[in-house]
Amino acid sequence: MTIKAKPLNDHVIVKPIRADEISKMGIVLPDTVDKERPEKGEVVAVGPGKILENGQRAAMSVKIGDKVMFKKYSPDEIKIDKEEFLVISEGDVMLILE
């Protein structure tokens, strides 16, 4: 997926992964479940990295295509071409899902 935005510094743009509407046992979940802030997503763009005190850039630990978990209330929500994305700092990414 290519988006028309380039994050700066150590920011990451993530396409949220929302919970399924039907549970594993076949129970249909109410609409309010989907309204919870997501905690998982797929990285669609990464910034070049934070500038360190010595003037060099730190390498990013995530890359496009990584599926990540992040702190629930850390992302900022944005819309690009009518699609919702989240912008988070690399430091708020807790783990990469394998």
Q: What is the pTM (predicted TM-score) of this model?
A: 0.78
Does 1 map to a domain?
A: no
pLDDT, position 21: 47
- Domain holding 72: CATH number? 2.30.33.40
What distance in Å separates the CA atoms of residue 28 and residue 98, rounded to the nearest whole number? 27
Name the domain count of the chain: 1
Does 3 map to a domain?
A: no
Does 86 map to a domain?
A: yes
Q: How many helices (H) and strands (E) does the chain have?
A: 1, 6
The per-residue pLDDT for range 69-79, each reduced to its tens digit, is 998 888 889 98
pLDDT, position 39: 87
User: Parallel, antiparallel, or unpaired for β 11-16 and 40-46?
Assistant: antiparallel
Full residue range of the structural domain in which residue 45 is found: 11-97
The per-residue pLDDT for range 77-98, each reduced to its tens digit, is 998 888 899 999 999 999 999 8
Task: Write down the H helix ranges in the chain.
Answer: 31-34
What distance in Å separates the CA atoms of residue 64 and residue 60, rounded to the nearest whole number? 11
The per-residue pLDDT for range 26-65, each reduced to its tens digit, is 655 555 555 556 689 999 999 999 999 999 999 999 999 9
